[in-house]
């Protein structure tokens, strides 16, 4: 069941009004972004918090980067009517748009494998359930969401965002309270001792830029929701809101982690938030963390696959074929997720994952740079 734009649907829902125009695109981006390393805190440390008192610079660079890319991509989608990433890239790069596929597909497989595997591990660590219970739940729920399509996905991820923000605020309060005066001491002394060598502003800013590039993969998950936007004002405001929504959890985590800086048990952990909650929270906080993490991992998997399904449907239309039905969407989702899980168990994901940074630079070349040059030129030329 595909989401219809307000123009094509006589019934106006809450999601078709200002909420849908200004907030839903950012909610979708934040929901897909948050899974895996972001939600666990691992990426927050790797891309900023490891620099201690100066790590906030990477956070600011990340916020600006996310907002600028969101504003530019939302407006480009509006003026070119590109509501899936295949059309978007063709309008941006012409026949070279396929280069995005060459990066998106392998990187998506890596991330999906990590999502399914991480859910199994986190559910096991926090609630004591068997690893495969978490994996199977992810496959089933993501399959159901892609069966019903955009309408249900938007609602699921909106409620997920509300729950996640509440949880992050609770976790942040627990961590800050447990840290006592240590946070202010880190900033007062300018502590950057967890990293070796000088913490130069350029290196920290560049870290934020690389992180933005690595996460360009999430932007197509918002494209279908952009059909509601009809003016530049709407795309600019929506893009700014998206950048903020995508980065607030980063700063909550960053401040909390400074309460334990430069403790290697926290900063070197696979799931830093879990280590902190074991120190300052009760069993209830760990169970809530497990539920929230499972939700975010499902959101990320759903968004990535839904963007891929939209790309497949666009190609089918080009060949005069019917779009996939809801049942076919669900089947494709289950097959892709199952394949990703199997590949991860054979170590193929670890092999490909070594190219993560290379893929980040690739996304800079085929998405960010063209969008901020060719894309801006076409937006200006459109006169819309």
The per-residue pLDDT for 327 is: 87
- 161 within a domain of the structure (yes/no): yes
- 13 within a domain of the structure (yes/no): no
Q: Which residues contact 305 (CB under 8 A, 6 or more apart)?
A: 108, 112, 142, 146, 332, 333, 336, 337
Q: Do 208 and 47 contact (CB within 8 A), yes or no?
A: yes
- 217 within a domain of the structure (yes/no): yes
**φ and ψ at 180, to 5 degrees?**
65, -130
Low-confidence ranges of the chain (pLDDT < 70): 1-12, 14, 36, 344-356
- 7 within a domain of the structure (yes/no): no
State the pTM of this model: 0.86
Q: Do 26 and 162 contact (CB within 8 A), yes or no?
A: no
- 74 within a domain of the structure (yes/no): yes
The per-residue pLDDT for 1 is: 38
Task: Tally the domains of the chain.
Answer: 1
- 9 within a domain of the structure (yes/no): no
Secondary element (H or E) of residue 336: helix 326-345
Q: Do 71 and 240 contact (CB within 8 A), yes or no?
A: yes
- 318 within a domain of the structure (yes/no): yes
Helix/strand number for the chain, H first, E second: 20, 0
Q: Which residues contact 207 (CB under 8 A, 6 or more apart)?
A: 47, 48, 51, 58, 61
CATH number at residue 115: 1.20.1740.10
User: For residue 96, what are the domain limits?
Assistant: 20-382
- 128 within a domain of the structure (yes/no): yes
The per-residue pLDDT for 12 is: 64
């Amino acid at each position: 069941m595909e989401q219809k734009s307000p123009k094509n649907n006589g019934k106006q829902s809450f999601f078709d009004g200002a909420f849908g125009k200004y907030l839903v695109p950012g909610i979708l981006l934040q929901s897909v972004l948050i899974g895996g390393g972001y939600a666990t805190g691992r990426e927050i440390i790797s891309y900023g918090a490891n620099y201690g008192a100066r790590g906030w610079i990477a956070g600011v660079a990340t916020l600006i980067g996310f907002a600028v890319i969101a504003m530019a991509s939302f407006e480009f989608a509006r003026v070119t009517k590109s509501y899936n990433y295949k059309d978007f890239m063709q309008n941006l790069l012409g026949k070279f748009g396929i280069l995005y596929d060459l990066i998106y597909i392998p990187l998506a497989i890596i991330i999906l494998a990590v999502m399914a595997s991480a859910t199994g591990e986190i559910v096991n660590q926090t609630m004591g359930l068997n690893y495969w219970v978490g994996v199977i739940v992810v496959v089933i729920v993501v399959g159901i969401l892609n069966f019903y399509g955009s309408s249900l996905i938007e609602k699921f991820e909106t409620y997920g965002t509300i729950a996640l923000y509440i949880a992050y605020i609770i976790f942040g309060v627990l961590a800050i309270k447990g840290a006592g005066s240590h946070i202010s001491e880190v900033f007062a002394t300018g502590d950057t001792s967890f990293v070796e060598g000088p913490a130069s502003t350029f290196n920290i800013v560049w870290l934020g830029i690389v992180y933005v590039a690595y996460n360009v993969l999430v932007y197509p998950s918002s494209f279908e929701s952009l059909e509601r936007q009809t003016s530049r004002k709407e795309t600019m405001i929506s893009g700014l809101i998206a950048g903020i929504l995508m980065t607030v959890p980063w700063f909550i985590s960053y401040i909390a982690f400074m309460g334990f800086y430069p403790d290697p048990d926290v900063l070197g952990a696979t799931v830093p938030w879990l280590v902190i909650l074991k120190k300052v929270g009760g069993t209830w906080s760990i169970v809530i963390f497990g539920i929230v993490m499972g939700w975010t991992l499902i959101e990320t998997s759903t968004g990535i696959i839904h963007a891929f399904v939209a790309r497949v449907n666009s190609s089918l239309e080009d060949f005069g074929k019917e779009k996939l039905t809801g049942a076919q969407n669900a089947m494709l989702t289950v097959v892709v997720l199952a394949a990703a899980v199997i590949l991860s168990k054979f170590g193929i994901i670890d092999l490909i994952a070594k190219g993560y940074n290379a893929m980040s630079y690739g996304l800079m070349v085929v998405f960010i740079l063209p969008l901020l040059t060719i894309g801006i030129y076409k937006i200006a030329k459109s006169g819309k």
